[in-house]
Amino acid sequence: MKCALVTGGSRGIGRAICTKLAGMGYYVLINYKTNTEEANVSLSQVKQNGGNGELLQFDVADKEQIKQVLGNWISANEGKIIEVLVNNAGIRDDSLMVWLKDEQWDSVIKTSLNSFFYVTRLVLDGMMLNRYGRIINVVSLSGLKGQPGQTNYSAAKGGVIAATKALAQEVGRSGITVNAVAPGFIKTDMTEGLDEKELKRNIPVNRFGLPEEVAHAVGFLASKEAAYITAEVLSVNGGLYS
């Protein structure tokens, strides 16, 4: 059985990605941290899209939980191969650096950057043995451009972008591609507090994006047809920045 693992799959962009991959025929492993109700909504949508999957509850910021929950799942499911990994989980905790607290820095770095390392390293063994894999990292406009008040978030996403390019060089000969998708302003709970009317004036297409539009880009990079695309960062931002 071919599987896809999506971290942070219980809401927003993650949910849309789960639904997209289910439509592509993947058995979807939906990772989430605490909100079981929302995770079940994602699983329900996966099934409505003709697919199937299961929930995997662990905190991507906790390397021991990753080892225990994901590691145990991999060991117990030898017949299920994770062909696609989407590192989507991430949090924002914005502040100007002069007021940025240690815990704000640590939590954002652990959730976005450290999780990429610990989750990907576990999944990579199976991909290398199978000589096939698609790794897609959901980064951000902030990781490319840098945003005031987001030194921690920009550092985390920028780090994942650099790691994407490095890992792609290591695993290309094994039939594994590693790419990133960098969303701009997307209508999710992470952008609910933003002034859309004001911000969209700076976006050439004059609107915020939809989670499904990001998911479509992820689906393309996860496809077999994208085999000659690796180490790339695909911006999904309405022309705001490239």
Taking the model in full, what pTM does it have? 0.96
242 assigned to some structural domain = no
Question: For this structure, is 153 an active site residue?
Answer: yes
Q: What is the pLDDT of residue 193?
A: 74
- To which H or E segment does residue 14 belong? helix 12-23
Q: Can you give the CATH number for the domain in which 190 is found?
A: 3.40.50.720
241 inside domain? no
Q: Are 222 and 2 in contact (CB under 8 A)?
A: no
How does residue 94 score in pLDDT terms, banded at 50, 70 and 90? confident
**Arithmetic mean of pLDDT, 25-44:** 97
- Nearest alpha carbon to residue 42 among 211, 205, 235: 211
User: Cα(162)–Cα(116) distance, rounded to whole angstroms?
Assistant: 12
Residue at 122 is within a domain: yes
Dump pLDDT digits (tens) for 217-234.
999 999 999 999 999 999
Which pLDDT does position 63 carry in this prediction?
Answer: 96
Residue 16 maps to a domain: yes
Q: How many domains does the chain have?
A: 1
The residue range of the domain holding 223 is: 2-236
Q: What is the pLDDT of residues 167-203, one digit of tens each?
A: 999 999 999 999 999 999 999 877 777 777 888 999 9
3-class SS at 28?
Answer: strand
3-state secondary structure of 133: strand
Q: Residue 147: pLDDT above 90?
A: no
On average, the pLDDT of the chain sits at 95
Note whether 9 and 39 are within 8 A (CB). Answer: yes
DSSP-assigned letters across all residues of 172-197: GGGTEEEEEEEE-SBSSTTSTTS-HH
Which residue among 26, 153, 228, 241 is the active-site one? Answer: 153
Question: Please, what's the b/e burial string for 33-68 (b: 16 or more CB within 10 A of its CB; e: otherwise)?
Answer: beeeebbeebbebbeebebebebbebbbbbbebbee
Closest by Cα among 193, 117, 107, 89 to 152: 107
* Adjacency order of strands within the sheet including 176-183: 52-57, 27-32, 2-6, 81-87, 133-138, 176-183, 233-236
Answer whether 80's CB lies under 8 Å from 27's CB: yes
Is residue 133 situated within a structural domain? yes
Distance CA 70, CA 56 (A): 8
49 domain-assigned:
yes
Whether residue 187 lies inside any domain: the answer is yes
Question: pLDDT grade, residue 236 (50/70/90)?
Answer: very high
